[in-house]
Structure 1
Amino acid sequence: MTTYAALLRGINVGGNRKLPMADLRSLLTGLGHGGVRTHLQSGQAVFSAGQGDEDSLAAELTGAIEARFGFRVDVIVRDHAYLRAVAEACPFPAAELTGKQLHVTYFSAPVTSERFAAIDAAAHLPEEFRLGDRCLYLYAPDGLGRSKLAEALSRRPAKDLIATSRNWNTVLKLVELTAAEQ
């Protein structure tokens, strides 16, 4: 059995695309997954699975949500080892920052620096970003809501790429929750 975190994009925001966490837990259990737990209301679930890989599990959950709730939700699934590696590879001094200052955007596939080449990084200082393994680390000293760099980064959508962001507190909590099931 492998333990995974499912990261759902854009649910329970502003009263739109409501997906109660109890229903998400029930859905995952109904799909045959064990150790199902959720974190917060913003779309994080932890579960264990004996079969499948990250992509097939994400597709399965996406389809099940659409079938049950009538709307599509983009889902990224990552295992404990990946989540731990992302936290350990943080290029910013995470221990010195608050959770609202540091964010990770998880991508469904690798991205290259060329994707963000048009962004004038110097114009956004002291905000900074660095690419990682299928993720992007964002240092936003005034928080994500006030970040002009986050806004510029989000203008680079790709139809074949899912992206969803979590603050550093949630990044660490997902590492902890997936480790508990190992």
Structure 2
Amino acid sequence: MNTYICLLRGINVGGHKKIKMADLKTLFTSLGYNDVVTYIQSGNIIFKSHETSIDEMTAVINKAIVSTYGFEVPVFVLTRTMLIQVYENYVLSPECIASSYFTLLHTVPSTKDIALVNNLELPNEHFVVTENCVYIYPEKGYGKAKATNTFFEKKLNVVATTRNYKTIVKLLELSS
């Protein structure tokens, strides 16, 4: 069986698109996934499956959420290896990593969009766009940052979801 990490974007934020983690665990189990574990309320699920097609799993999970909860949310399914690569490819200063954010991109942006965004400068915000992740270090905290998930989605014309360093590390730990 393979281990996967599923990230749901935009659930349980500001009282919108609420899904209890216990219910999410039950939903994933009902889909035939094994050893389902959730982490915090922001839609992080680790599970095992014999399935190998990430696209098929993404479609199945998306359909189940729409059917069960009546709303759609972006679904990101990654292998543990994919998440390790995102973590290990961190490109900002090593001293910043513990206060950094990882914006995972659902699709690869155009090279033109990557170049345009990488040439932008925002005061007190450092970021580097790669093909699958934007590494962000907001000096004054993510809550005050202009370079947010929505900012990158608009600039790069992709769907994205953001997790902080602590969450990335915990997901790697839980999926080992």
Deviation string 1:4-27 (CA, Å, 9 cap, x unpaired) is: 110001000111110100010000
- SS of match in other structure, 2:155: coil
The root-mean-square deviation of aligned C-alpha atoms, in Å, is: 2.0
2:152 alignment counterpart: 153
Name the count of aligned residue pairs.
175
> The residue matched to 1:71 in structure 2 has which SS?
coil
Q: Could you say if the C-alpha distance between residues 147 and 25 of structure 1 is closer, same or farther in structure 2, counting changes exceeding 3 Å?
A: same
Q: Tell whether the 8 Å contact from 1:65 to 1:71 is kept in structure 2 after alignment.
A: yes
Q: Does the C-alpha gap of structure 1 residues 132 and 118 become closer, same or farther in structure 2, counting only changes over 3 Å?
A: closer
Structure 2 alignment gaps of length 5 or more: none
Work out the CA distance in 2 between the residues paired with 1:98 and 1:106: 16
Partner of 2:129: 131
1:28 aligns with 2:25: no
Answer yes or no: is the 8 Å Cα contact 1:76–1:162 preserved in 2: no
CA contact (8 A) 1:33 1:49 kept: yes
User: 2:63 is matched with which residue?
Assistant: 63
SS at match of 2:11: coil
User: CA separation of 1:23/1:86 partners in 2, compared to 1, >3 Å: closer, same or farther?
Assistant: same
The 8 Å contact of residues 113 and 156 in structure 2, kept in 1 or not, is answered as no
Report how far residue 175 of structure 1 moved. 1.3
Q: Does 1:79 align with 2:79?
A: yes
Kept after mapping to 2: 8 A contact 1:113/1:131: no
Helix, strand or coil at the partner of 1:174 = helix
Unaligned stretches of 5+ in structure 1?
none
Q: Counterparts of 1:120 and 1:108 in 2: how far apart (Å)?
A: 18
* Aligned counterpart, 1:174: 171
Give the deviation of 1:111 after TM superposition.
Answer: 1.9
Would you say the 8 A contact 2:76–2:106 is kept in 1?
Answer: yes
The answer as to whether partners of 1:66 and 1:72 remain within 8 angstroms in 2 is yes
Return the TM-score normalized by structure 1: 0.87
Length-normalised TM-score, structure 2: 0.89
